[in-house]
Structure 1
């Protein structure tokens, strides 16, 4: 899992926009499935990790790391 470029609370851009028109999503849960929340309307979607990796375009904002 160390090779993953994304982490909890990152804001990512997906390849296709949400029907509300927004294309920014925040990662709110990580595990075997990843839950993302639309930054426009607040709708959340859970995707299998493999599907999420295919649909992600880029990371817009990195989460603050606590060390």
Structure 2
């Protein structure tokens, strides 16, 4: 199975919703850690790569498709 490729600006859906009610996050940093911004309230979080890959459900929108 091929690993999913994540890039800056992608919007991803996580398994559990944020307390504000939104389950969609924008990727702001990619590497050993991921920096995410909640699309509901703007809260910023940092997750280690293994935890991020375990919690992500799907890519809602790719960064290059925002045209």
TM-score range, shorter chain: 0.7 to 0.9
Count of matched residue positions in the alignment of Structure 1 and Structure 2? 64
Unaligned runs of 5+ in 1: none
Give the alignment's Cα RMSD to 1 decimal. 1.6
C-alpha separation in 2, matches of 1:38 and 1:12 = 10
* TM-score normalized with structure 1 length: 0.87
**Cα distance, 1:4 vs structure 2:** 3.3
Unaligned runs of 5+ in 2: none
2:56 aligns with 56
Write out aligned runs for 1:1-67 (5 A): 3-64=3-64
C-alpha separation in 2, matches of 1:30 and 1:9 = 10
* TM-score normalized with structure 2 length: 0.87
